[in-house]
Amino acid sequence: MAEERKQRMTATAAAAKVPKMVRANFTANLKAKEEGRPVAFSFIVNCYDEILRAMDIVPAWAESYSGICAAKHDAGRFLEKAESQNFSRSLCTYATCGLGFEYWRNELGGEMPPNAPWGGIARPDFILGTGQMLCDPRYKWPQAVQHYMRDVPAYIGGFYWPPYDENMDQREVENYYLKYAVEELKGVIAFIEKQTQRKMDWDKLEEVTDLVDRTWDMFIDAYELRKVRPTPMDTGDAMNTMVPLAFMLGTQEAYDFYKDLYDELKDKIERKEGVAEDERYRLLWGAGLPPWFALGDFQYFNSKGAVFPVERTYREAERIDRLHLPKLSDPLERIALRWMRYWTHWYDAARKRKGSIPEVERLIEYIEDYQIDGVVFHKAFSCRTWHSGIVLQAQILKEVYREIPINHNYYKRCGNRYKYQ
Amino acid sequence: MPASERCSKSSDATKKGAIEMETLNDNGLTMVENYYRDYGYRARALKQAGKRIMGYISAAAPVEIINAAGFTPVRIKGDPKEAVTKAYGSMETLVCPFLLNAFDLALKGKYDYLDGIVIPHTCDSVSRTYEVWKRNFPLPYYHFLNVPHLDGAPSLEFFTQILKTFIRSLEQFTGKEISKKNLDHAVLAYNELRQAMRDLYDLRKPDQPLISGIEMMKLLVAVKALPVDESTALIRQVSKEVKERKTSSSQKPLRVMIAGDQIDDTALVEIIEKTGAQVVMDDISVGSKLYYADIEVTHDPVDGIAEYYLEKVSLPTFYRDKGGSYDENLELRFGHLKRFISEFDVDAVILLVYKNCDPYGFEVPATTSYIESLGKPVFYVEDEYSSSSSSRLKTRIEAFIEMLTQERR
């Protein structure tokens, strides 16, 4: 059973609002299901946010639910169910937690597993995944979960971006990547139209696409206020404030959240109110998923005068003007190119610095802009995509930039069996 | 024997090695043994004679294009008997254990004869470590091939463009155009190899298979580091030799199929065959996954190559869904297993999946239940790419086979 836990302190009022917003997301998908409105399993950075919102599909965020189970120290029983089905414990535990949950629900004939955290997650009408370079569970999880919900159809769209090559300008091949991504987005729309008998409202899609552009800008503007000394917000809070960007993109609520955060941070800066009482060390959360079960650890850093004014993790946005996007009228092209230019944004900088790679250029940019003294890399044992290549990043950072203190942390991401190593 | 010692020993052999294809004179199986024991021996000889050698990872790399560019493709493999010692400093332990082991061998000099490496986007372990290979094992050429996970018309068109970019990159590297004629020739040569391999697989169908699972595994590995024509000739020679065998026993062995990804060592098959059972078929990425379909000869050969890799190679990194029901999709994903089980009269399946493997790991319940639905027992085991776990594996597999043998009595 879930342990009763003390509420974690947050530095900002915005971050403190997030748990309620997450809960509202799950209430919304359960309510939609009850009312017969379409609910789709979706995954973070699926790139379908505008489409879902324009077609009034209620997303049920599968990873988010596993994160909730973990934060409540109640994931272990779902992971054990998954292991009983021979899912290896070396697989992504966001996925195996969700798979164990669905296996159990299927065993119960569609009933929610007993005492499911926050009342559970709705059984979806369909599943939306992606085949892309972000991670394998984005298409393997939907396929695997169908084993326990065989009547639920899935659509997996291809959404790739040009790989980094120091000898080739990615814009040389961008056109065919863009064409493919747009075709696949059309495929998602056709699939949803078929499942729901609803037609895409193209005007609405355009409006939502504009809103997402503005939200990305507002998110970056707010986050960049953290550059000042003392920083008014650090990574401990950012692991909450990522929620609207990751799970509510394309809603006015997400935009308003970052506007409120912006105003709050401005106010804190005016009052010179920092996260740490005596800010002495500024650290970059260089890579890796956070320890959801121990976000309070950031306060331990703060108590020692160390703050994290910036993090790579969950900062999946950039100011639109920095992406140098051409004027496009097709919203699908805008969505696709916005993501593609985001993923390839640090390529040019990497080509300019001998021996560098885009991931390291991004770190260097943050180190300089946020006056960073040291970098922390954090590794979760079951996530290959975020955590492979971190050793190399640390090595290259020191080679091409400067000797900067680097710390590597490891932990096992196993629900209520979480352990640091 | 450590890889470094094997490397120096084989370099002596290389010096003696001739550029001409070695004569087969009724010693196909002996040559297989040599090529298996000293993987890459022939490629090193060719390199010394001035030929170009291109390494590649996984079954998703289009060897036809590499061949058409004038390279001998060599599939990068590991060595489960070799303890990983050097790789830990630069590659994370959470990646695929096969990849970690292969990278370790590269750092120890096992692949120092390569001109380059092609790394397809198959899984997170492979794609996320591309730069790790490039930085720590520098070679004149590296290429990341962005293979999509999906099939269907847009994916096919996209992959065709990806392959054309790959062709341009090779042309730039070699300074030589890859002509349609070269590509056509490569497609035909590999189709011929596939046919020869299928003919050899057929010799496993009789009640008393003419070639053992161990011999077959050695051959499957050996041909991954040979020029295509030499591979085909070797397979034909082995077929000829084993056809001359007389069967001595009238007792039909328990017939096992092994399934998994990069099983490129005889350890598993040895465990199975020492029990008296025989491995008669495989569904592995160095084996049948590559041989049971041909590339269609198309006007633009790149179209046929793209279609083959996206639609005909059954890897779990390719998502199969034509919009049908879950059961219909299962047939698209695993229908070939049904055919193999029937055609090769398979009694049981052993599914070996490496730890940290998301593409195969997420398929385990679906794969095992599909096989069980065919009325065949399946034994799933998760393992690391290391002989250090072979005792544990041996005990479990022996128990499984003993149980089946008793049921047959």
Instruction: Give every CB contact of residue B74 below 8 A, 6+ residues apart in sequence.
Output: B40, B43, B53, B54, B55, B56, B111, B114, B224, B225
> Which residues 299-318 in chain B show a CB within 8 A of chain A?
316-317
Q: In this structure, are residues B212 and B253 in contact, taking their beta carbons and an 8 Å threshold?
A: no
Tell me the C-alpha distance between A162 and A341, whole Å.
10
Chain A residue with minimum CA distance to B130: A389
Distance from CA of B86 to the nearest CA of A (A): 14
The range of the structural domain enclosing residue A294 comes to 13-420
- Number of A/B CB contacts below 8 angstroms equals 155
Please give the C-alpha separations between residue A269 and each of A233, A239, B208, in angstroms, as whole numbers. 10, 20, 81
Nearest beta carbon to residue B362 from set A91, A164, A395 = A91
Of the pLDDT bands very low, low, confident and very high (cuts 50, 70, 90), residue B21 is: low
Give the model's pLDDT for residue A11.
81
SS (H, E, C) chain A: CCCCCCCCCCCCHHHHHHHHHHHHHHHHHHHHHHHCCCEEEECCCCCCHHHHHHCCCEEEEHHHHHHHHHHCCCCHHHHHHHHHCCCCCCCCHHHHHHHHHHHHHHHCCCCCCCCCHHHCCCCCCEEEEEEECCCCHHHHHHHHHHHHCCCCCEEEEEECCCCCCCCCCHHHCHHHHHHHHHHHHHHHHHHHHHHHCCCCCHHHHHHHHHHHHHHHHHHHHHHHHHHCCCCCCCHHHHHHHCHHHHHCCCCHHHHHHHHHHHHHHHHHHHCCCCCCCCCCEEEEEEECCCCHHHCCHHHHHHHCCEEEEEECCCCCCCCHHHHCCCCCCCHHHHHHHHHHHHHCCCHHHHHHCCCCCHHHHHHHHHHHHCCCCEEEEEEECCCHHHHCCHHHHHHHHHHHCCCCCEEEEEEECCHHHCEEC
B361 close to A (CB below 8 A): yes
Q: For A116-139, what is each residue's pLDDT tens digit?
A: 999 999 999 999 999 877 899 999
For the sheet with A419-420, list strands across it.
A306-311, A281-287, A374-380, A406-412, A419-420
pLDDT reading at A260 higher than 50: yes
Of the pLDDT bands very low, low, confident and very high (cuts 50, 70, 90), residue A5 is: very low
CA nearest to A200, candidates A361, A56, A102:
A56
Give the model's pLDDT for residue A378.
86
Dihedrals phi, psi of B259, to nearest 5 degrees: -135, 150
pLDDT reading at A208 higher than 80: yes
- Return the residue in A92, A136, A155, A400 with the most chain B beta carbons within 10 A, the one to mutate for interface testing: A136
Mean pLDDT, residues A356-368: 98
Residue A6 lies in a domain: no
User: Average pLDDT, whole number, for chain A?
Assistant: 92
The reply to whether omega before A19 is within 30° of 0 (cis) is no
Residue A249 lies in a domain: yes
Mean pLDDT, residues A140-156: 97
Of the pLDDT bands very low, low, confident and very high (cuts 50, 70, 90), residue A415 is: very low
Give the model's pLDDT for residue B1.
40
Give the model's pLDDT for residue A371.
97
Q: How many domains does chain A have?
A: 1
pLDDT reading at B348 higher than 50: yes
> Which residues 76-95 in chain A show a CB within 8 A of chain B?
85-88, 90-92, 95
Stretch among A244-253, A384-393, B368-377 having the lowest mean pLDDT:
A384-393
Give the model's pLDDT for residue B110.
97
**Between chains, do B146 and A88 touch, taking CB under 8 Å as contact?**
no
Q: For B51-72, what is each residue's pLDDT tens digit?
A: 999 999 999 999 999 999 999 9
Compute the CA torsion angle B132, A377, A410, A248 (nearest 10 deg).
Answer: -100
Tell me the C-alpha distance between B391 and B382, whole Å.
14
Give the model's pLDDT for residue A4.
42
Of the pLDDT bands very low, low, confident and very high (cuts 50, 70, 90), residue B5 is: very low
Mean pLDDT, residues B174-179: 98
Give the model's pLDDT for residue A8.
60
Residue A2 lies in a domain: no
Stretch among A225-239, B16-30, B327-341 having the lowest mean pLDDT:
B16-30
> Which residues on chain B are in Cβ contact (under 8 Å) with A383?
94
Give the model's pLDDT for residue A419.
39
pLDDT reading at A142 higher than 70: yes
Q: For B313-324, what is each residue's pLDDT tens digit?
A: 999 999 999 989
Give the model's pLDDT for residue A3.
42
Pick the CATH number of B3-184 from 3.40.50.1580, 3.40.50.300, 3.50.50.60, 3.40.50.11890: 3.40.50.11890
Give the model's pLDDT for residue B13.
41
B50 close to A (CB below 8 A): no
Query: Does this chain's domain B3-184 share its CATH topology with B249-408?
Result: yes
> Which residues on chain A are in Cβ contact (under 8 Å) with B95?
384, 388
B249-408 belongs to CATH 3.40.50.11900: yes
Give the model's pLDDT for residue B280.
98
Q: For B38-56, what is each residue's pLDDT tens digit?
A: 999 999 999 999 999 999 9
Distance from CA of B120 to the nearest CA of A (A): 11
Q: Residue ranges of the domains in chain B?
A: 3-184, 249-408
Give the model's pLDDT for residue A289.
83
Residue A8 lies in a domain: no
Q: For A35-53, what is each residue's pLDDT tens digit?
A: 999 999 999 999 999 999 9
Residue A278 lies in a domain: yes
